[in-house]
């Protein structure tokens, strides 16, 4: 569904992605792990058209989408749950969901149906529908950010650090939601610092280090890989939650 071939991205003179390749097949959950500053968010921003691709190709369902505007990329079928959630805090929960469904705004029946589905999945959001999104708890905001992305009816859902800044119990809840989305057959690219939890719910994974892909393989294999264990799963590594 998504194929990145040898992509290079720069911020001025900083070479943030140095020939990165990755693919995601339909129905797969693929984890991208790596330390702070490895380039994970840059990779997401490059796919979503938020930063300029310098070299390489980004193919989505066989089309080269490099150079497309972020709005057109959403229209192609990619939706992002951004790092830090980035909900519209001064709008109501309902207005946030409407914004997520922006590309379908002329189809009010579909919008109402999708909103109903979101509220069935997350009854707490129905209860809070008229509340300003900025007044929600961290976990509720993450549910809203996921729901807002689902409102676009994406074929590929990209989640950038969904567990960041949340309490352990809430993280557990968020991973449960991701697992459910996976079981529904959705295609997910999951960017996480919480490597163990991410690899446990993923079919395959990639490890990014200082702008280069250094390892890839099945989730279960990476969990047992010596280098991954040492750098990301060991005693000194970040372990917020274990399944």
**C-beta of residue 164 within 8 angstroms of C-beta of residue 194:** no
The reply on whether position 141 binds ligand ATP by CB under 6 A is no
Structural tokens at position 222: 């990476």
How far is the C-alpha of 104 from the C-alpha of 150, rounded, in Å?
12
Alpha-carbon distances, residue 103 vs 1, 68, 117, 148 (angstroms): 21, 15, 18, 12
The reply on whether position 41 binds ligand ATP by CB under 6 A is yes
H helix intervals, 151-186:
168-183
Spatial CB neighbours of 165, under 8 Å, sequence gap ≥ 6:
84, 138
Q: Which is nearer to ligand ATP, 16 or 111 (CB)?
A: 16
- Binding pattern to ligand ATP, positions 205-234, x when CB under 6 A? ------------------------------
Residues 20-39 contacting ligand ATP, CB under 6 A: 34, 36-39
| Residue 157 beta carbon to ligand ATP: minimum distance, rounded to whole angstroms | 18
Per this entry, what is the length of the chain? 243
How far is the C-alpha of 90 from the C-alpha of 64, rounded, in Å?
36
Structural tokens at position 118: 């979101």
- Binding pattern to ligand ATP, positions 179-208, x when CB under 6 A? --------------x---------------
The reply on whether position 14 binds ligand ATP by CB under 6 A is yes
Q: Which is nearer to ligand ATP, 9 or 98 (CB)?
A: 9
- In the list 11, 25, 69, 107, the residue contacting ligand ATP (rule: CB under 6 A) is 11
Residues 162-181 contacting ligand ATP, CB under 6 A: none
- In the list 4, 16, 189, 233, the residue contacting ligand ATP (rule: CB under 6 A) is 16
Q: HSE of 132 in the Cβ direction (CA atoms, 13 Å)?
A: 5
Chain residues binding ligand ATP by CB under 6 A are: 11, 14, 16, 34, 36-42, 193
């Amino acid at each position: 569904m998504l194929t990145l071939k040898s992509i290079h991205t720069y911020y001025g003179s900083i070479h943030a992605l140095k020939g990165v390749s990755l693919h995601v097949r339909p129905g797969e959950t693929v984890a991208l792990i790596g330390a702070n500053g490895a380039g994970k968010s840059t990779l997401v921003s490059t796919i979503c058209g938020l930063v300029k691709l310098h070299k390489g190709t980004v193919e989505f369902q066989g089309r080269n989408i490099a150079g497309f505007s972020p709005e057109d990329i959403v229209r192609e079928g990619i939706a992002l749950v951004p790092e830090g959630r980035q909900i519209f805090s001064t709008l109501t929960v309902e207005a946030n969901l409407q914004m997520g469904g922006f590309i379908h705004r002329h189809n009010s029946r579909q919008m109402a149906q999708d909103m109903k589905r979101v509220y069935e999945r997350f009854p707490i959001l129905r209860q809070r529908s008229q509340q300003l999104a900025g007044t929600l708890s961290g976990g509720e905001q993450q549910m809203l950010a996921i729901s807002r992305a689902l409102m676009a009816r994406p074929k590929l859902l990209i989640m950038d650090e969904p567990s960041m800044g949340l309490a352990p119990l809430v993280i557990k809840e968020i991973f449960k939601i991701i697992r459910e989305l996976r079981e529904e057959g959705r295609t997910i690219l999951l960017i996480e610092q919480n490597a163990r939890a991410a690899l446990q719910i993923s079919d395959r994974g990639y490890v990014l280090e200082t702008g280069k892909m250094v390892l890839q393989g099945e989730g279960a294999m990476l969990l047992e890989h010596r280098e991954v264990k040492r750098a990301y799963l060991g005693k000194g590594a970040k372990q917020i939650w274990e399944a």
